[in-house]
Structure 1
Amino acid sequence: MDIITTIQDLIAESERPKKSRVQDVTQLVNTICDHANQFGLGNEALRSIIDLVREPRTLDQTNTTTLIKSLYPAQRIPSSHVSLVAAALGPAEKKPSTATQNLLLWWLALVRTAFEEWNVLERLYSILFNLLDMLTIRSNLCRLLCLITRRKHIKPWRIHRLHELSQSASNDQGLIALLKVYQNFYPDVIVPQGKSMELFKGLDKEWIARLNTIQEQNDISAGPASAFENVYGGNKRRRTEVIPRVQTRQIHENTVVLEELRTLEDFGNKYERIEYPNQIIAALDNQQLQRLVVLRDDPILNSRLNGWLTMFFDVHMQKESEEDQSDRTLDEVLDQLQIFTKHTKIVPIAFTGFLSRYVGYWDGQRHRSSILGILGYLEIKPYQEYRTQFLEGLEQAILDGTEAASVTILSLYTILIRSWTTNLLAATSRAIESGPDGTETITALISHCSALVIQLLTSGPSAIAQTGIHEHLQTIADVSLLALGSPRLKIDIPPSHHTYLIIFTSPTIYTLSSSSQLLSTYKDILEQHLSGQRKTKPALSSRSSITEFNGYMMDFCNLFWRSRAFNTADNNAKGCLLSRNITKALQQYAESIPVDRRYSLGALLSLSFHPALSAVSIQVFRNMEDKVMADNSDEEDVITKRHAGPVTQHSLAHLLSQGGLEVSWLNYRREVLDVLGAMGADGLSGLVQRSVKIS
């Protein structure tokens, strides 16, 4: 049944006396609520229900309560709907019951981020404030006023009126909360002693979470009000007990406080007049203040932020030295500091100072994600300085002999290399001249990572470790590619043992393809470097790097394309760095394998024999045979003998003499490369095409 039809039926039934009703009202209400809880209500349905609950009818209070608590809007709420709800408030005889009015106020407070116009309630402020005389709805009304009050609403007569009301109703938590909001804007406002109300209760948070889910399902993003919710953003997340909220006192007449800003446009227009809040540390939990920290770049701001963090970390370190693990506030602060660092790209100096002491106590597990997330945004400093300060201790705490720990450290360093490269390219010439040598810092970190990569490769890396290794090597390749256009960076050729270990310890199609793609990238870099067509020429680590790289290329082609594995006779070929004695022993072993025919060592890692490629290669050849037979189905004995595999140049000639498929050795290999490319593993094909002539 259409939800609009159901609502119309409910309205019709509510106008009839109970004994004259045709349908069960409770069942209709439950149907509407089930739909609203699952999908939300469109504006037409929402308007109909608002009209239903705000006008005197025979609908009982239980069903009215159930309806209002299920008013989840699926769209932005028009201002006309909000005005209708506000018009339903008050002491008039034809107004809804006070229970219904309280529910409507509760609903307005929770859906205010879904309004089409974020300031619609602010325009109704006078109407709402004048209803404070109604004791029966004062609590929910005060909560709503707390959420929408801005400095422009605070008038002397309103302060006077609130004091009068608070005197007549001592210890009214709603009035105390509202007066505290007024005091946030004007510190001279006197607030009576007493406990203020909690703005959001557990049920409210659950309701808001469901509202957010429904809005997301309907592709309705958070509105301007929610994006700039400051002081009372209880619908965003559970706030920490340690980090204070944004509060600004000592306000000057011509300044603006963050609590007043509701949109990004407001922030931009009033940026120059924004007053700093009482505690800058609130920036850990407030995006506007984070923007202010970044845009102002004020040493005083940074000093206040670091001062608070230093005191907090000092207290925590005292507890660590006393082996007190009961304090959970560090987890909360580090979690928020990670978010702050992610948004601002600023790592407070207080954190690095804390970490240099903390690594001596750290078990390498608690809040690891937060600590590593923060470290990914470190500014460029001499690598040895960071290593002495905390990186060495960090490695000792995390590295426990497992592969996962090594991948974690390698991933951190990969992120740092990428971040430092970006920062170095974006820095001004003056900053580079006055700062540390960023090029040497990046090179030193790359060199340190080499040992981690070797450790992972020699331990038989898993798929996760392979991914981490390739991301690291790809990052170094990206840095070298950027070095072509910037004298601030240096081309780094991967060490030979990295390349060969990847080939022999990670024998999968996609690992080989990725490694080949990396080598192709480096070949392009070197060709551009040596072409002499650039104005700036970054120096290589040494001239021998070029010769060394050509050796990688030749060895790869000898392995996969030319069936000359471990050959050293060709120019630049290094035989995969194997000594002659080892090569000779491997050849003897290959010849001793008990098979029908003898194979040379040089062919055992070619396309036809390689463990990762042999299955694809023989299937390619069989597909070629099938195609020829299908194309010549009307002829007999087109192919009288099929290849049993593996395919070699000699076996193709022998097969042809016995009635097999006629195909050249070159065309067969080229077809294998094409199929690998179609599978998404085109790195090997690209490397071969860049290294040898295949047509």
Structure 2
Amino acid sequence: MSSAIGRTEHPVGVQDAVEALERACAIPAKRRAVKVSGIVDTICRHAFEDGLNTDDLRAVVRVISRKTELDQSSVTSLIKNLYPAQRVAEDIVVTVVGALGQGKGKPSLGTQNGLVKWLVTVHSIIDRANVLSRLYGVLFGMLDMISIRTPLCHLLSLITRRRHVKPFRIQRLLELSRGLSNEPALQGLLRVYKDYYPDIILSNTSTSRNSFPPRPDSEWQNRLRSIIEASAIPDEAISEQHHGFRLLRRKYRTGREAVIPEAHTFKANEASVTLEEVDSVDDFIGRLERIEPPGQMVSFLADPLLQKYVDLRPTPISNNRIDLWLATSLEEEYNSAQSAMDSTPEFAELLQNIHRHTRYTKTIRPVVLRFLAAYLPVWDAVTGFDDLLGILSYIPIQSFQKAYGTYFTPLEKSCANGNPSSYSKLITFYENLIQHWTDQVLSFQNPSKDDMSAHRRSLEDLATHVSSICLSLAVSLPTDSGSPLLMAVLGFYETLSGVPQDTIVPILLPPPHLSYLLAQSASTTTFSRICGIYASYKGAFDRHPKPISNYIHHDTTTSFNSILRDLYNSLWGSKALQVTDNSPAFFCTPALRDSLNSCLSGIEPEYSVGIAFGLSNNAWLASLSAAAWWSLEEGEMERRGYDRDAMRWHKGPVSQKSLESLSKNGGVSVPLLDYKRFVLEWLAARGCGGFAELMYATHAKLRR
């Protein structure tokens, strides 16, 4: 390795380049055998493409953190390309902080400025986040340095917590502020201090764009994100998502103020505990009973920490403050909508925050419910469509007729434009609603018989209403494979069939006509999913308290058994489209089935309707079953060590007769049931598991 560096060629590997840089930085430029520019280019190119691992990053930082023989342009290039491929180690941060200040061995002021800016950029991916907190006193003591004061104030603004705010530091900041004519970055740091002690710091902390930490260079940040995504650091390490145990602070100013204000405690004193100083889950739990509430309680809609505080320490005063703010803001939007005025951009943001909070708590605040009841009749059916549907899906269980007249009618009217995407969102909304109502019913403790009956009727009325919508849409709109509407309908019944039914939550079946329509779809996936839905229903009937007739009407069980039998016959036996035990047989009359049989036998004497719908000949599955058989046949050949050239291969399609003939005439011997089971499992492994679920739920021998 040393010989490679001694030559005049540029080092190829980054490790060679780093070692060469460590040697070259101690040698004056005129005495070097290798041009340092080539070494720097190698390191920068590797750092830009793949990032620097901890060892290489540590070595480079040690070089640029002290006074060396390197020229300033080389050092600046290295700082601009300090992309870490892993979390930044604690000792690297200490090295960078140790490079700041005045001293004989310190790097240039330009280098120090660049290093502080680098700390601002990577502070969120430092391995131990408290390392900068422990170095707070050192960093604060360097505010006298004009060359690094601006980025240093930005760094201190990001890491300052209540424990750092000391009287002597407040006094020092006020002295600097008065002597420097309101320097923007210094005013930003002073404003952070004022958040903790507003009664002590009475000076005017004016704000400007430069008083906030600057937005990181987008190109640099995107490159770092790409490097991190390809490394071992979780994506959330560099994202701006909050861990939930520190007050949310917007790092960057936008063109307008956010409708939900940030949480600030304005009545704090030296003896009080505020949310601003909470920095971890331990801090939050240990100080929960002593925390002073912030000034704007409605900030809980957007702030995870305040949300937890409100939920764990609810008080009438806090709830009244929240409701008063919401009522005032929502009333303004209602008056605008009633006057046919356009809604404000702030309203969309407010709805988004209310939706987020509702999804978190699974409940809607009463003031929001009252607003929705008044607002929906004058709603323009456009503003906040998705968020309104999301909020409404958490309406508490009640009489469906009442909820439909109050809330749901405007939603359905808004979908009357015939846009399939609107219809699919409506079906998805009802899916989320019935899931929420079911969860509520199952959570009730010892409900009365009247309540049980009312809840059961509400669920039945909701399912019946949605079923009529689904059937109407399925026959009036195109439901191509993969269409959002078809996916929404299937998703609704998959949710409905999967809820835990008992004596309170009824088994709610889709209409027979809709089931048959979906089962005859041109999509194999749709056919598989409807089979899976009925397999799930079969399991629900098996688990239901007995006798079932005490809870479910006889007509319902008869209809279910008929559809289940028809689906089974269309895949497994030779009775497809055959009316048995009063089953509709896909509404194929016996006369029509006889005509189809005559037509098929005229094409091929061995063909019939029953055979045409089996696994091997089914129009949806024939090619897939053939591929599954080839895989099975290949596996049998290899497992038994047969000579492939001497063996007879099956020509297809597979049947009982063809398998017996194959076994007698030099082919593999596979029982028909094993073949069918293999096909089902082969299909399930490729996303069509509904067929296997249905067969295992209905075929006792296959299940054994």
Length-normalised TM-score, structure 2? 0.82
The answer to whether 1:470 aligns with 2:474 is: no
Aligned with 1:675 (options 671, 675, 679):
679
Change (3 A) 1:676 1:84: closer
The answer to whether 1:20 aligns with 2:31 is: yes
Alignment check: 8 A CA contact 1:89 1:101 kept:
yes
- TM superposition shift of 1:478: 1.5
- TM superposition shift of 1:450: 0.4
Alignment check: 8 A CA contact 2:601 2:608 kept:
no
Aligned with 2:530 (options 515, 519, 528):
515
Alignment check: 8 A CA contact 1:205 1:234 kept:
no
Q: Which runs of 5+ in 2 are unaligned?
A: 1-11
Rounded to whole Å, the distance in 2 between the matches of 1:4 and 1:467 is 53
Equivalent residues in 2 for 1:582-597 (5 A)? 583-584=590-591, 587-588=594-595, 591=598, 595-596=602-603
Alignment check: 8 A CA contact 1:230 1:246 kept:
yes
Which residue number in structure 2 is paired with residue 447 of structure 1?
464
The answer to whether 1:329 aligns with 2:341 is: no
Change (3 A) 1:377 1:69: farther
Rounded to whole Å, the distance in 1 between the matches of 2:112 and 2:288 is 39
Equivalent residues in 2 for 1:123-522 (5 A)? 123-188=134-199, 189-192=201-204, 194-196=206-208, 197-204=210-217, 207-208=220-221, 210-221=223-234, 222=236, 227=243, 228-230=245-247, 232-234=249-251, 241-320=258-337, 325=342, 327-360=344-377, 362=379, 364-429=381-446, 437-458=454-475, 459-464=477-482, 465-479=485-499, 482-484=500-502, 487-504=503-520, 506-522=521-537
Alignment check: 8 A CA contact 1:381 1:436 kept:
no
> Residues 168-215 of structure 1, C-alpha deviation per residue, up to 9 Å, x if partnerless?
222222332222222111112112353354323234565455445434
Q: Which moved more, 1:609-618 or 1:14-23?
A: 609-618
Rounded to whole Å, the distance in 2 between the matches of 1:592 and 1:203 is 73
SS of 1:575 mapped into structure 2: coil
Rounded to whole Å, the distance in 2 between the matches of 1:496 and 1:383 is 23
Q: Which moved more, 1:46-55 or 1:192-201?
A: 192-201
Rounded to whole Å, the distance in 2 between the matches of 1:380 and 1:119 is 47
SS of 1:526 mapped into structure 2: helix
Change (3 A) 1:543 1:606: same
> Residues 537-559 of structure 1, C-alpha deviation per residue, up to 9 Å, x if partnerless?
89534233223322223333444
Which residue number in structure 2 is paired with residue 67 of structure 1?
78
Change (3 A) 1:588 1:7: closer
Change (3 A) 1:491 1:297: farther
Rounded to whole Å, the distance in 1 between the matches of 2:68 and 2:417 is 72
| Letter aligned with residue 25 of structure 1 | V
The answer to whether 1:612 aligns with 2:615 is: no
- TM superposition shift of 1:252: 5.0
Name the % identity.
Answer: 29
Rounded to whole Å, the distance in 2 between the matches of 1:62 and 1:595 is 88
Equivalent residues in 2 for 1:541-556 (5 A)? 541-556=552-567
Change (3 A) 1:372 1:28: farther
Change (3 A) 1:540 1:102: same
| Letter aligned with residue 453 of structure 1 | C
Which residue number in structure 2 is paired with residue 121 of structure 1?
132
RMSD (CA atoms): 4.2
SS of 1:91 mapped into structure 2: coil
Rounded to whole Å, the distance in 2 between the matches of 1:18 and 1:618 is 74
Rounded to whole Å, the distance in 2 between the matches of 1:675 and 1:404 is 35
Aligned with 1:47 (options 40, 58, 62):
58
SS of 2:553 mapped into structure 1: coil
SS of 1:202 mapped into structure 2: coil
Change (3 A) 1:309 1:184: same
Q: Which moved more, 1:101-110 or 1:358-367?
A: 358-367
Alignment check: 8 A CA contact 1:205 1:235 kept:
no
SS of 2:143 mapped into structure 1: helix
- TM superposition shift of 1:393: 0.6
> Residues 426-449 of structure 1, C-alpha deviation per residue, up to 9 Å, x if partnerless?
344479999995443333221111
Alignment check: 8 A CA contact 1:559 1:602 kept:
yes
Length-normalised TM-score, structure 1? 0.83
Rounded to whole Å, the distance in 2 between the matches of 1:218 and 1:238 is 35
Rounded to whole Å, the distance in 1 between the matches of 2:62 and 2:667 is 84
Change (3 A) 1:645 1:295: same
> Residues 33-73 of structure 1, C-alpha deviation per residue, up to 9 Å, x if partnerless?
23223322233222223322232223333332332232233
Rounded to whole Å, the distance in 1 between the matches of 2:253 and 2:221 is 9
| Aligned residue-pair number | 671
Equivalent residues in 2 for 1:32-111 (5 A)? 32-111=43-122
Alignment check: 8 A CA contact 1:625 1:661 kept:
no
